[in-house]
Amino acid sequence: MSLTTTDIARIANLARLELQAEESARMLDQINAFFDIVTQISRVDTSGVLPMAHPLDAMPTMPPIHLRLRPDVASEPNDREANQRSAPAVERGLFLVPKVIE
């Protein structure tokens, strides 16, 4: 199976990446070269095997781990200035983005 230029354009849009024409062409070749080594996985019989999302899920000695949530209490100080120190555009403590609603 090979990807096409249309696939690359579709995925680039999903991934919010602007690709130049020459970059797209190179990406197409390289991703297809990668999928040449991926084909072998389709030949593996995985019937009855549970997908493993997480190594903790495979540790025989560990109790099953569920997504751990911390108690719902405020624990971090409000540190807006430090948190916004590296933001590209901030005004009066708010992050600025281009207009999204006309």
Partner 1 sequence: MTELHHLGVAELAALLQSKQVSAVEVATRFLARLGGNPHNAFLDIDSEVTLAQARESDAKLANGTAGPLEGVPIAHKDVFVTKDLVTTAGSRILNGYRSPFDATVVARLRQAGMVTLGKLNCDEFAMGSANENSAYGAVSNPWNPAHVPGGSSGGSAAAVAARLTPAATGTDTGGSIRQPAAFCGITGIKPTYGRASRYGMVAYASSLDQAGPMARSAEDCALLLSAMCAPDLDRDSTSLDVAQENFSATLGHSLQGLRVGVPAEFFGDGLAADVRRAIEAALKQLQALGATLVPIGLPRTELSIPVYYIIAPAEASSNLSRFDGVKFGHRAADFADLNDMYKKTRAEGFGQEVKRRIMTGAYVLSHGYYDAYYLQAQKIRRMIADDFQSAFASCDVIAGPVAPTTAWKLGDKADDPVASYLADIFTLPASLAGLPCMSLPVGLGDGGLPVGLQLIGNYLQEAKLLNVAHQFQLATEHHTQQPGAAA
- Give residues in contact with partner 1 (CB under 8 A): 3, 7-8, 11-12, 14-19, 23, 27, 30-31, 33-34, 36-38, 40-42, 44, 46, 49-56, 58-62, 65, 67-70, 75, 79, 82-89, 95, 97-100
Read off the amino acid at residue 97. V
Bridge partners for 95 per DSSP? 90
In the block, residue with structure tokens 């797209």:
24
Residue 4: which of 37, 35, 40 has the closest Cα? Answer: 35
Distance CA 31, CA 2 (A): 9
Q: Give the shortest CB-92-to-partner 1 separation in angstroms.
A: 16
